[in-house]
Amino acid sequence: MVLSSVLGFPRIGANREVKKAVEAYWAGKLSAEDLIKAAADVKKSSWTSLKERGVDLIPSGEFSLYDHVLDHSAAFNAIPKRYQGLGLSALDVFFAMGRGRQADGVDVPACEMKKWFDSNYHFVVPELSEETDFKLLYNKVLAEYKEAKEIGVVTRPVVLGPISYLVLGKAAKEASPNFQPISLLPKILPVYKQLLSELKAAGAESVQIDEPILVLDKGAELDKQYAYAYAELAPVSPKIILTTYFNRLDSNINFIAKLPVAGLHIDLVRAPQQLGEVLAAIKSTPIVISLGVVSGRNIWKADFAVAIKFAQTAIAALGADRVVVATSSSLLHTPVTLASEKKLTQQQRDWFSFALEKAAEVATIAAVLSGSQDPKVSAALEANKVSIAKRREFESTSDDAVRKRVAAITPDMYDRKSPFAVRKEVQAKHLNLPRFPTTTIGSFPQTKEIRTARAKLGKGEISEAEYDEFIKKEIELVVKFQEKVGLDLLVHGEPERNDMVQYFGEQLTGFVFTQNAWVQSYGSRYVRPPIIVSDVSRPTPMTVKWSSYAQSVSSKPMKGMLSGPVTILNWSFPRDDVPRKLQSQQLALALRDEVLDLEKAGISAIQVDEPAIREGLPLRRSDWDEYLQWAVDTFKLSTAGVTDATQTHSHFCYSDFGDIFPSIQRLDADVISIEFSKSDMKLLHTFKQYGYSNQIGPGVYDIHSPRIPSEAEIIERLKTTLAIIPDHLMFINPDCGLKTRGWKETEASLANLVAAARWARANA
Ligand code: MET
């Protein structure tokens, strides 16, 4: 019999209940007790729905009020000193680490966040040092296992494995210079042993231990640590299902096959080619294979025929009792249910599966493989065949004009007319910015009023004209504020945008939108990625009206603001019938037209944000070059059409990109801004070492937290930065856009930023 398994479920609630509860708690409007209760209701609903869908192996323990990596740090006492002894409850310490805290005399910034592998989910980076005193403060996984059991759902607990946990961590400031988090393995294993043995004592039969590090190149250097750790854990643990996702194991399978684990999960959506190799490696072991055949990263219906074929290969090699069919990864990256979508056409609805529908898919595939005679199962199999065929038919009716335009791209379209040194001079005259120009990344607070106005427009309660008037007022307010506070290169504030990707998607052809398909990005921040379903083009200008209006109310230069092709692609659910490269090229051509229209309208600086370029990087180094080639090319294609006088900007988040440095240079943006305030100086040293030649604005304060940075703090940051970056190349800006912030902290923070820039002009 083939079992079905789901590796993890969205933790936001079908109607974003968790966001609402968590934010109400932060605002002091909900008690801790009621927050826990709201979370319990969401967990309960997930468990029962999975059971109803017929899933055999239902996950527990992966729920989180903020982030699952943070859950481990908090439970393991990996709590940096600055959050200790503040008189906070365990829950508030947890949130303080996630988002910082500035209240009642407590003032601590948040821990660093990083992208979770190549997804748009952010995890809170564990801060570790020789002093980290791991102990199990509470066993969250056990508690949730029991919680599910109480309502009659037997689950398989999920734990992030010790090696992945440590490798995802970073050295805390107090760590000695050569400290490597993995050196803490002997210290953390007792905690895992305790956690796992408590699960076993409570009756858990098996446990899913996630070790996604095994799909990375660095997994190969950790063979000894894996052998050591799992030999320690296996004897005390429920049966271990070692779980990998997002990529292929490559040669790591050789040592993995020797580990004392009961099962191994592999991702066959991302890396179908690994099946043969993995089966060969585990054939003579007792290891059960869990096949990730239903995508945890996309919203397209699984093609049952493909999934079944993979599973049959595995069954032929190992026997049905050693095969499980599963989602490729946790479903954390997919929206909860298609049932919430009321506006999709019948045709569109038939293409998609969200988390709950995916759960039903794995259950059906497993049932088919187990030889089920249930007429519902054969009906579902037949329906899938029809849906897949219809989608293929739709795909073949592509937009010819768009495809032809892509085919006609010429090499000169990728390059600016003159080199940066020449452009810099021309732009200095044209824009007339002071030394250390100050600017922001684009968005200003998305206030309740803005969201209400947009909602009213959506419901038809106000007219388009009324909405436009409202947005114009907002823009004027933001522009006047920037003038007053003394910023140099202004922005219009992006009040008209619900989201930096959705906004563009809504104006391009080829996208489909959902009403409720939210996916967690970080903490209580969820995004609703649009879905690319066909060829993309731009029927009319998208932002020119707003940027021109903003420019018309100020004599200071205005920066136009677009989202880049790679980012729009990465933060949408892409098509799975054509390569990402082609989708990115189509987006780039649409954006190129927009950039030229902005220039024509008198906008002299244009920012094309590519915060997702780094996260889209393939997980294996051998796949990087191909990606970087088209990713950088498409950015250039979208920006390079302008004259020398127009200053192009780009923005990057979580800029862990020392290693892709040449590509950042090759983008040839006149100015880049990078998220930087929580990083160390290593990144800037890389820029220096490689002789980065264009202008750069390393973010001077963290915008993910409501905390206000002091002028002195920003000056300190500038001093260290200026020791590395030449002053004539420096811009001064926050880490990222301000849309998630309130006005109060925005005003105060930017005033301090401008004051720090004045200090720099006088002293540096
Ligand atoms: N221009 C965008 C903003 O300011 C860039 C965001 S990058 C995540 O919000």
Atom in ligand 1 nearest the alpha carbon of residue 441: 4
Binding residues: 19, 120, 441-443, 494, 571, 609, 651, 653, 675, 736
Distance CA 535, CA 531 (A): 12
- Check pocket membership of 561 for ligand 1, CB cut-off 6 A: yes
- Check pocket membership of 564 for ligand 1, CB cut-off 6 A: no
Distance CA 665, CA 667 (A): 5
Residue 206: strand, helix, or coil: strand
- Check pocket membership of 560 for ligand 1, CB cut-off 6 A: no
pLDDT at residue 594, rounded to an integer: 98
Distance 63 CA to ligand 1 centre (A): 28
pLDDT at residue 677, rounded to an integer: 85
- Check pocket membership of 441 for ligand 1, CB cut-off 6 A: yes
* CB within 8 Å of 229: residues ≥ 6 apart: 161, 162, 163, 185, 189, 192
CB 57 within 8 A of CB 6: yes
- Check pocket membership of 501 for ligand 1, CB cut-off 6 A: no
| Cα dihedral 126, 130, 136, 138 sign | negative
Atom in ligand 1 nearest the alpha carbon of residue 440: 4
- Name residues of the chain where pLDDT drops below 70: 654-655
Which ipTM did the prediction report?
A: 0.98
pLDDT at residue 281, rounded to an integer: 98
Distance 741 CA to ligand 1 centre (A): 12
Distance 160 CA to ligand 1 centre (A): 31
- Check pocket membership of 615 for ligand 1, CB cut-off 6 A: no
Binding residues for L-methionine: 441-443, 494, 609
CB 756 within 8 A of CB 711: yes
The pTM of this model reads 0.92
Distance 10 CA to ligand 1 centre (A): 25
Distance 565 CA to ligand 1 centre (A): 14
> Is residue 492 annotated as part of the catalytic site, yes or no?
no
Q: Over the stretch 507-549, which tens digit does the pLDDT of each residue have?
A: 999 999 999 999 999 999 999 999 999 999 999 999 999 999 9
Distance CA 555, CA 642 (A): 22
Angstrom CA distances, 326 to 69, 129, 313, stand at: 22, 37, 15
- Check pocket membership of 611 for ligand 1, CB cut-off 6 A: yes
Tell which one of 120, 439, 441 to mutate to probe ligand 1, the residue whose CB is within 8 A of the most ligand atoms: 441
Distance 649 CA to ligand 1 centre (A): 12
For atom 9 of ligand 1, which residue has the closest CA? 737
